[in-house]
Structures are given as structure tokens and as C-alpha cells.
A and B are shown apart, each in its own frame.
Chain A
Amino acid sequence: MKISFQWLKEYVDVHLTPKELAEVLTHSGLEVENLSEANPSFQGVIVAGLRSFRSHPQSDHLFLCTVHDGRKDYSIVCGAPNLKAGEKVALALEGATLPSGIKIEKSYFQGVLSEGMLCSEKELGLSDDAVGIMLLDPTLPLGSSLDTALPLKDWILEINVTPNRSDCLCLLGIAREVAALTGQSLRYPPERVEEKTSVTESQTSVKIERADLCPRYVAQLILGVHIASSPFGVRRRLAALGIRSINNVVDATNYVMLEMGQPLHAFDFDRLEEKRIVVRTAGPREIFTTLDGVARPMPEEALMICDGKRPVALAGIMGGLNSEVSPETKNILLESAYFDPMGIRRTSKRIGLSTEASLRFERGIDPNGCVRAADRAASLMVEFGGGSLPHGPVDNYPRPIPPCKIRLRVSRVNQILGTAILDQEIRRTLEKLELGTELKEEDGFQVTPPTFRVDLRREIDLIEEVARLHGFHRIPVTLPSGTLSGEKKTKIQRVAQQAKRLLNSFGFWEVINYSFISPKMLQNLKLPMPDPRARALRIHNPLNEDQSIMRPTLIPGLLQVACTNAHRQNFNLKIFEMGKVFFPREGQELPEEIAILSGLIMGLRREESWSTPKEESDFFDLKGFWEVLGEGLGIENCRFLPAAEEPFLHPGKSCRVEAGGKILGIMGEIHPEVAESYELKPNVFLFELDFQKIAEEASEHRTFRPLARYPAVTRDLSLIVEDRIAAGDLLQTLWDANKGLINEINLFDLYRGTPIPQGKKSLAFRLKYQGEDRTLTDQEVNELHQGIINLVRERHGATLR
């Protein structure tokens, strides 16, 4: 809400600079977001009096004027149509500068000297009015500088009024705050003097059919006005606050809305059929043309202001074209009403129309301010446009809004705020805000907030007022004291921390992705419908389609990161994410959440250098990282089972990871189609593992195994098996046969091609035989070795190479 510093001073004395005032307001909860100076952009223009004028002898549209500044006379040539002797005018003499950049000099017009220029508002940069010269308020002193006489120098404060402070959407509200904060008194605008010519009640009536939507309707008549433009001061104040000037009557309604916060509407009384008001809701399929010229279908329950026959305004939002004030209007019916905030909000949202008026009704206006505002606006209309005010107004108040009474305990104030404010000070503070305070026997007051404070309903609201005015910066600073319980991290937290450290040390970067993803990302993974991940949880009100489902897997996020990095020429990547994925639960609102660890590697194993060969990452790197990670987390009995059967992994190059008899997850090379949809080359490798299970299998405890004391015997074993036999299975068989006498088995070679027959492969193992309590004899080793050869032939059909 913008306010003008000059205008504000009409209601409260301000002994602070605009900057100091902004500080004070901000600290009290009315944040001043912007403070700007409004300076006139002309120089050297003074107030002069037009003594007389006559036609220019050589020109039929110019006049020779004699003006005086209180000391001497000047001759000015002027072509304006509105010259009138005795008027005060804006005189720019030699040396003056105008906003357009023009510098005034003495010049000749058709042979006659003009010592200066009489200015229009437009030429002074004050408005768009260029029809004639600016005619000034007759009380302005002759010879004075125009910018101080008007006055034009002002500051505009842009205040961020929080939604609870509807009372501050007007100058009086802000002035009241300033008065309370600075110890000054508030000055209400003058009340009008009653004119008992006729009576409003005998000339019109108001019928309210929906008192729930319109608890109060005040109607005042203004008869015999002359529609014209408003005085300069009024137009300037409206413009400073961003309201366009229309005519004196409409301007008066806007002026009072800005001044008092009560939205008003002026109807052309003669265009109201049956000269009365009926407040009702819209009928079915009713179409109404608002005064912006747009014909709108009215939603159900939209409150309409009607005359005896048809709607004339959309209540609280915008007036109708059929009853608006025009230059020919002579009689006005002024509406000053209280509309139910929810009703206005509903209709405003349904129609998609929001105005300065509707905003104030939505936030809640003062039901006891309607009559005062109507009075004020009516007086201004008479002041600006003449006319008379019948004794009135008509005040229809079927649903009186009762005042609120709140009990406020002094002890509670100090308990909540941590202060030691005394009773009297609290009372003074509240009374400065016009809150009625009555003493109660024990500890406190009964407070009656005025009806313009819709935000004060409970004791805690009053405590906030005390804090605000006392000054939050004056509340003493202390620290809470007490014992804190020291909790250890849970096992899964400790394992997670360790896992992250290990992955970092392998060269992985941790990434964080959003939990909400787009359905397209799941489609790109080619998940078939029966897969639980394809039926991800949908969000009711997503911000946009790209964030409309809760992720059931971390893979799309990692692929997106790979894609983005590839676009930025980061082709070598090792990333992991530890996060939650979500699955909808049958019959339950909240989803199942599973902790997942996923990773992606892409590109070269390490950055190129002269001392190491350039190697591309491959599937076995992934396996290797997992094996070391598993070891680091104390996970034993890790196995890799072939064929993960994930639609987003390459069918021949993937596997399942198992530990402690549970499947932890999958890893493999990306499916070429998926790689393409993410604009990646196929050298991308992924893993996704259930971290809850990893944490369960992890052991933080290590037991020492005594060291071998007897020498070992190493034997190699080269086996030929069919391609489809997994090396892991062979390895398992070798371990099964070890009888406690094999210490290590390493697979060190894999070979396909001649002389190995097609469809078969050669696997070479290095076995380390070692006894715990003796050196093994050759015979023993040979027997063992033969036993192993027999077993692998039996189980896997393996032959010796």
C-alpha cells in the first residue's frame, strides 16, 4: 500500500524525516519496502495573478496577458482558452526550466514580446491536462515558488501491509499507528454540518435480501451536483497513490477509500429504476456488464446491487455500466456498505476480477465506519461539485456485528514476552491504539478492540500488540537453559555416514535431486504397467506437470544429472544419491517411504594423464566399487546374481546384488534406448540398492582372525565352461569344496575365442592352499585340487584347459 508523506501529515503530526518514519513503521510490523522522493521536475515557476488580458492584434488565437507577482507586472503572450481575470496562474519566467527540458526565454510572438510563459499542468509534468493553463488555488501567496506553495515535494512510502491488518489499508489506519508509535494524537477528518433541506429516507429506500452476505448498507443522496474535474490537490494525491482521476464525484469516493479504508460507490441516482436499492444474489445465467465494458456471466451466490428492476453493480467488486456517473449526471446515490469478506472473495475468485474495493472487503472493513465514510465523501462531493445533502443517510443494519471482549492477563504478557512491563504501561499502549481497557480485579484487563481491528480476537493477539508497540528490539536477550539429552546416531545414520565417506573416497560426488519428478521421466525408463514403480503416487495440486509425481526410484534423477553435465561438457562422472523413494499404500493416504542408495558412473575411469592409460569405465568397475563398499561397511556373504531384468538396463550386462540372503538391488549398463532418450552415450552404468537392507547387513563390529603361521601353496586352475555358467557360481563351488584349507581364491583371467570352442569360455582361478595347524603336503594339496576339479565337472560341466 503506497502512502504519501505529505498527505499522512494531515492526520498526525510527524516530527521525523521520511526515512526515520520508515524505520519506525518497519520495526512495528508495517514493513516499508520502498521509500522514494517525488520531486517536481520544473524549476523557477512562481505563483502569479492574472490582472487582465486582451486579444493579440496579429493573431486570433493568442492573447496578451498582464500578470503580477506581488512586486511587478509582466507581459505574457498566451494561447490558452481558459484565461480568466483575477485567477492565480503558474508563471515561468526567463531562466525557468520545464520537465521537457525547455528553458524559458523572453521571445516575440507575432511582434509582441512575451517575458515568460503561463503553464498548463501537462507542461509542468503534473498531469495529462493540457486543455488550458493551470488555475491555482486563490489562497496561494503571490510570488511564491510553485513547488513549495502547492506543495509538491513529497515522499512515497510503499508499505507491505500484512493480510491481518486490514485497518492499515488506508491513511487513517497508518496515521493511527504512527500516532501510537510516536506519542502523537490522531486527527480525524472534519465531520460535516447537517443540512436539513430534505430527507434521504423519503426519497429512496434500501432492501437487503441477503443479510448474511450484506450485514450493513448505508445510502446517502447528493442532489444537484455539477460533474467536473477535481481540484488539483485531490488529483495529485490520488495519482501519488496510483489511482486515476475520473471526475469530482468518483474521485471523492476513491479519496475517502484511501483515506478511511471504506470502499464506496457512486450511482447516477436518476438511472436507478424506481429510485431504490435492492441487495440480492444473482439469478441463474444472469449476465452483467461491469463499468469496464465487459459483459460477465454471474456465478451462483454472487451478490448484486440492484435497483427496483435490474442489477446495477457487482457488490463490493465493481459498478455497472448501466448506472455509472457520467458528465451529465446531476444526482448521486452513494453506497457505503459492509459486505461479508468470504462472499466477496468467493465471487472475486470465480469471476477473476479483483479491485482495490474487493481487496479491502475481503480483508474485512470496519462495520462501524460506513456512516462516517459516507458523510465524508458526500461533503467532499458538495465541496468539489456543489449540490445539497438531504438529511440522512439511510442506514440498513440487519445483522449488527457485536464487539469482541477479550481478557488480558498482565502476568501472561510478561510470561510470553520475557519482559517486565507494568500494568499501567500496557493499558496506555492499548489505549493509544483505541482499544477500550477496563480494569479487572485480579491481574489484568477486559479489552474491547474497536471494530476496525479484525485481527484482534484472542489474548495472544493483544500480547502481540503490546510487544509491537513496546518494540521487539527492546525485549531483553536471554538464552534458554536446561539439560539437553545427548542421543547417539541410529545405526542406519552411522552406516549412511560411513557409506558416504567411502563413496567420496572412491571419487563419487553426492548429488541431491527433487523428490517430485515428471511422469515423462518414468516413461523414459520404459517401466511396464504391472511394475509398482509405474504406478507412482500422484500429487493433488502439483506446481507443474514436471513435479507431479513422487519418485519411486532415484535413477531418473541421476540420469538427468548425467545429461545436464554432458551438456556442460562434463563427460566423466561418478555420482551417487542417498534418498527416499515413495510408493502408494493401499487404502492409506501416506505413501511407503524407502531409503535408497543409487549411483551412476560414466566416461573415463580417471582423468587423462601421461602416467596412466586412458580407460573407459565398465560394468566391472561398478561391481568393484560395491565389493569394496560392502567390505567397508562390514557386509559379508555378498553375491551377484545374473540378470537383473530391469527394462532400463542392458539385458546382457546387469545383475542383482545379494547379501545375507536378501536381494539388495540391481546394477548394470544402461539400456541403449534409455541412454538415447537422455542424450547419453551407452557408457553409463547404474546401481540402485535398498539402503535399509544394507544398513541391516552392515556390521560395525570386526573380529580378529588369527594370522596364518604355515606357508601357503598356490595352484592355478583353468576351466572351460559354457558361456552361460556364471563365474560367481563356479567360485561358490570352489569355496564349497575348500574344507577349510583354502585361504584365497582369485579369478584372474577370462578368455573367449580360439582355441576355446564357440559358446564356451575359459576362466582361470588362483587358489591359495594353507593349513591352520600344519604345512600341507603335496599329496594333500593334490587330493584337494583333484576333488575340486571333479566337483566343478559334476556341477557345471567344467573341463580343465
Chain B
Amino acid sequence: MCKKSGWLEILGSGMIDPEVFRFVGYDPETYTGFAFGLGVERIAMLRVGISDIRIFFENNLQFLSQF
């Protein structure tokens, strides 16, 4: 994950492509929209200092009891 550049990607976002609107039946000339997505685990990792994302799915009591 760390590219050692001093920056870490935490979310992607942008304007919804008009083709996507057409696909689901919205007229892109009438509607515009934006979307974003972030990984909750990653944000939690950054906020609290967890080192490995797999820890979230191990369900080790030593981890669960900390929060």
C-alpha cells in the first residue's frame, strides 16, 4: 500500500458518466450527479493506527475487545 511518496489514496470520486445515466434510464441532459467511494476499513486503519486490513476479518478477540 505504501508507495513512500508521502501520500495515500483513500477515496475516489467524480461526476457520473452520462452513459451510466442512460443505461439506467435517466436522461443525462436533465440529470447530473456525482459519486464517491471510500473503504471504511482503510479510514479506520488510518484513524486508529491498524497495520493490516486482514485483522478486520480475523475476529481475534484481542482485536475485538479493543474497540
Contacts and interface: CB of A to CB of B under 8 A. Distances in A.
Physical interaction between A and B: yes
Contacts of B57: 512-514
A460 interface: yes
A561 interface: yes
B18 A511 contact: no
Contacts of B5: 33-34
B3 A570 contact: no
A575 B18 CA distance: 46
B51 interface: no
Interface in B1-55: 3, 5, 15, 17-19, 32
A509 interface: yes
A317 B33 CA distance: 41
Contacts of B18: 458, 460
Contacts of A514: 57
A415 B60 CA distance: 50
B9 to A, nearest CB: 10
Interface size class of A (residues with CB under 8 A): 10 to 19
Nearest to B58: A564
Interface string A492-524: 000000000000000001111110000000000
A570 B61 contact: yes
A509 B66 CA distance: 11
Given A415-B32, A509-B65, A460 B59 contact: no
Contacts of B62: 568, 570
A573 interface: yes
Given A460-B18, A570-B62, A573-B61, A512 B56 contact: yes
Nearest to B56: A512
B60 A564 contact: yes
Interface string A413-427: 001100000000000
Given A33-B3, A416-B15, A513 B59 contact: yes
Contacts of B58: 564
Nearest to A565: B61
Instruction: Select the residue from A34, A509, A510 with max chain B CB neighbours within 10 A.
Output: A509
A1 to B, nearest CB: 16
Interface string A513-545: 110000000000000000000000000000000
B15 A575 contact: no
A570 B32 contact: no
Contacts of A570: 60-62
A565 B15 contact: no
A564 B59 contact: yes
A255 to B, nearest CB: 29
A575 B59 contact: yes
Interface in A171-229: none
A460 B14 CA distance: 12
A565 B65 contact: no
Nearest to A562: B59
Given A34-B3, A416-B32, A561-B59, A511 B17 contact: no
Contacts of B60: 564-565, 568, 570
Nearest to A570: B61
A475 to B, nearest CB: 11
A515 to B, nearest CB: 11
Contacts of A460: 17-18
B22 to A, nearest CB: 11
A510 B65 CA distance: 10
A164 to B, nearest CB: 12
Contacts of A416: 15, 32
A34 B32 CA distance: 36
B64 A509 contact: yes
Interface string A588-614: 000000000000000000000000000
A509 B64 CA distance: 7
Contacts of A513: 57, 59
Nearest to B9: A31
Interface in A534-588: 561, 564-565, 568, 570, 573, 575
Nearest to A463: B15
Contacts of B19: 458
B61 to A, nearest CB: 4
B57 to A, nearest CB: 6
A512 B17 contact: no
B30 to A, nearest CB: 11
B50 to A, nearest CB: 15
Instruction: Select the residue from B19, B32, B58, B65 with max chain A CB neighbours within 10 A.
Output: B58
A575 B58 CA distance: 13
B59 to A, nearest CB: 4
A512 B19 CA distance: 36
A570 B3 CA distance: 36
Nearest to A472: B14
Contacts of A561: 59
A427 to B, nearest CB: 22
A575 B62 CA distance: 13
Nearest to A560: B59
Nearest to A32: B5
Contacts of A34: 3, 5
B40 to A, nearest CB: 11
A34 B18 CA distance: 34
Interface string A444-486: 0000000000000010100000000000000000000000000
A512 B40 CA distance: 14
Contacts of B32: 415-416
A29 to B, nearest CB: 12
A33 B57 CA distance: 30
Contacts of A512: 56-57, 59
B14 to A, nearest CB: 9
A445 to B, nearest CB: 18
Contacts of A33: 3, 5
Contacts of B3: 33-34
A564 B55 CA distance: 12
Nearest to B15: A416
Nearest to A564: B58
Contacts of B65: 509
A568 B64 CA distance: 13
Nearest to A567: B60
Given A33-B3, A34-B3, A416-B32, A511 B15 contact: no
A570 B18 CA distance: 53
Contacts of A509: 59, 61, 64-65
Nearest to A511: B59
A353 B31 CA distance: 44
Contacts of B17: 460
A678 to B, nearest CB: 14
Contacts of A573: 61
Contacts of B61: 509, 565, 568, 570, 573
A512 B58 CA distance: 9
Interface in A95-131: none
Nearest to A573: B61
Interface string A734-760: 000000000000000000000000000
Nearest to A461: B17
A568 B62 CA distance: 9
7 contacts: A460-B18, A509-B61, A512-B59, A513-B57, A561-B59, A565-B59, A570-B62
Given A564-B60, A568-B62, 5 more contacts: A33-B3, A509-B64, A570-B61, A570-B62, A575-B59
The 10 closest A-B pairs by CB, nearest first: A511-B59, A570-B61, A561-B59, A509-B64, A565-B61, A460-B18, A416-B15, A33-B3, A568-B60, A564-B58
